[in-house]
Structure 1
Amino acid sequence: MSKSHLRAYSVLEYGLATHAPLTVVTGEVGMGKTMLIQALLSQVEDDQTIGLISNAQGDRGDLLRWVLNSLDVPLPAETDYVSLFQLFQTFVVEEYAAGRRVIIIIDEAQNLGSEMLEELRMLTNINSGKDELLQLILTGQPELRQLISRPALRQFAQRVTVSYHIDPFELKDTRAYIKHRLIHVGGTGDEITPAAISFIHSETNGIPRMINKLCDLAFVYSAASDKSNVGLAILRELQNDGVILKPSDPPYFLTNKVNTLSKAAE
């Protein structure tokens, strides 16, 4: 993991340890958010009841069905919103009475939209007094952070105890990441030249998923050419063949470029 990933995981652990009502972690597509969730789930304790939701979408009331399904709570065929909420509240209170906290983890939470996020905030009203019966952990793309920052969701934002944004790899992180993966599969860690790694970093914007794909393609081309190492020439060949699909710059890259151009013009 990069330093940014370690910090993000620490934030998730902190949210659990402090019984934070709302914890939010964001990052670009391919930055390993789901990997962090899986690592967190591997540390589940007996006093925690976990519900995991991925790609939840829908209208008001649908969210409660997603939540109850994630907790394996049986749903009647025909149930109105009030009954669904009562069913959920009863479940949370019963789990608390049994010495367990209910934790709902929602991945790709940027897909929820304003109304469903507000509905989530209303669910945290189950918490009362000094004890937190329900915890929510949201992970998503940068759009989630932008969504929460809207004035209409200021009450939701106030409930967020801790949040963190996972930054893309810096060049040194990309070097360490590639070396680690090469050694993990039995290599020396030096099968890709420093110049090639710099190229890979530039083409992928430091996003792990894209780094993996580009390295895999480079080794395919290298093997076809009977070469044991990947150099810059192999990557240039990939580029010329149109095999590399470079992702568009994320919003923060565009912002940084605009700021740089503005300062240069002053």
Structure 2
Amino acid sequence: MASRFLIYSKHFGLTGRPFSLVPDPNFMFWSAVHSRAYAMLEYGLATFAPITVITGEIGAGKTTLIRHLLRASPPDLRIGLVSNAHGARGQLMHWVLSSLNQDVEGWHPYVHRFRQFEAFLRSEKAAGRHTLLIFDEAQNLSEIMLEELRCLSNINCENDELLQIMLVGQPELNQIITRPRMLQFAQRVSAQFHLSGMTSSDAVADYIAHRLKVAGTTREIFSPEACELVFAASRGVPRVINQICDYALVYAFAEDSTVVGPDLVRQVIADRKIQSLTSSPTPDR
């Protein structure tokens, strides 16, 4: 993948790869929907929401938001990040302790691990910090594991706020939470937002220009017509935009062109078998 950047970097005067698929907070673009999603994260933290839920389609930018949060977190916040946790009851505690760099060597009963976790939270509180657990790809958590998280939130009491939980996942996570048997869990969710794609071609054009600027150029490489097509094909989802634009730069380089026009974008969409949509994306909720 990196070789594509090496191919076209000098041709376009770039010092970095503008459309990598790897989440990178250095390229964070604050579209209206991403600003709202991040505001909800901050709201959840500020109000000490027991559980915050952020959902979005694949490639909508959820992980990039979380990485920005990790980078910008204040010193009085201790964060444990758990990605792709799986397993049955009791195994979740292993993931949690490991994310906080706590000792998980050897086998210990659940009660021991729970006491270890509670002691950690109280030691952080005594040091002037509270703890945030972030679960990325949280749609993979089973109902049993979600119920275990709800029970962990019981550690907090009226005068002792020790733990916050943040779940970040695909739309299926909302479907799980709204099941009748998950009512107790849903009642603990105090902050929630669904991250959609960008909802206008202007926003997508600004996104493309922003990433090119971060990568070293302010020159307009993608024509307005090309940006319109990228928007229609991607529904404003950043990962799909990056896929189209990365290949479009390769195609433009191959044709010795310094501008990406609509014909090149059409060719990328056809070759990559990306379904172009004429309807506008669904507004964020």
Normalising by structure 2, report the TM-score: 0.82
**Which SS does the other structure have where 2:72 is aligned?**
coil
Give the corresponding residue for 2:16: none
Which of structure 1's runs of 4+ aligned residues deviate more than 6 A? none
Q: Structure 2: how far apart are the matches of 1:128 and 1:179?
A: 48
Match 1:246 to one of 241, 259, 274: 274
Q: Is the 8 A contact 2:233 2:269 kept in 1?
A: no
1:8 maps to what in 2?
Answer: 37
CA displacement, residues 109-168 of structure 1 (integer Å, 9 cap, x when unaligned): 111021111110000111111332111111111111111111111111100111111111
How has the CA–CA distance of structure 1 residues 214 and 152 changed in structure 2, closer, same or farther, with 3 Å as cutoff? Answer: same
Q: How far has the Cα of 1:248 moved from its partner?
A: 10
104, 112, 122: which one aligns with 1:75: 104
Name the aligned partner's letter for residue 235 of structure 2: N
Output aligned runs, 1:115-134, within 5 Å.
115-134=144-163
Shifted more, 184-193 versus 214-223: the winner is 184-193
TM-score between both structures, scaled by the size of structure 1: 0.88
The corresponding residue for 1:53 is 82
Greater helix fraction, Structure 1 or Structure 2? 1
Partner residue of 1:172?
202
Residues 11-55 of structure 1, C-alpha deviation per residue, up to 9 Å, x if partnerless? 111111222111111111111111111111112223222111111
Residues of 1 paired with 2:110 and 2:51: CA distance? 23
What residue in structure 2 maps to residue 205 of structure 1? 235
Which is worse superposed, 43-52 or 54-63? 43-52
Alignment of 1:1-266 (within 5 A): 1-170=30-199, 171-240=201-270, 242=271, 244-246=272-274
What's the CA shift string for 1:37-80, capped at 9, x where partnerless?
A: 11111122232221111111111111100000011111241111
For the residues of structure 1 that align with 2:273 and 2:161, how far apart are their CA atoms? 46
Question: Over the residues paired in the alignment, what is the CA RMSD in angstroms?
Answer: 1.9
Cα separation, 2, equivalents of 1:247 and 1:165: 23
Q: Identity, % of aligned pairs?
A: 47
Amino acid at match of 2:183: R
Closer/same/farther in 2, CA of residues 189 and 9 from structure 1, 3 Å limit: farther
SS of match in other structure, 1:103: strand
Give the letter for the 1:16 counterpart. L
Which amino acid is 1:246 matched to? Answer: I
The number of residues matched between the two structures is 250
Select the structure with the greater relative contact order (CA < 8 A; seq sep ≥ 6): 2
Separation (CA, whole Å) in 2 of partners of 1:89 and 1:186: 48
Report SS of the residue matched to 2:104. Answer: coil
- Partners of 1:92 and 1:248 lie apart in 2 by 49
Letter in 1 for 2:117: F
Shift of the 46–238 alpha-carbon distance from structure 1 to 2, 3 Å rule, reads closer
Q: Whole-Å Cα distance in 2 between the matches of residues 245 and 169 of structure 1? A: 21
Determine the C-alpha separation between the residues in 2 that align with 1:156 and 1:172.
Answer: 39
5+ long unaligned stretches in structure 2? 1-29
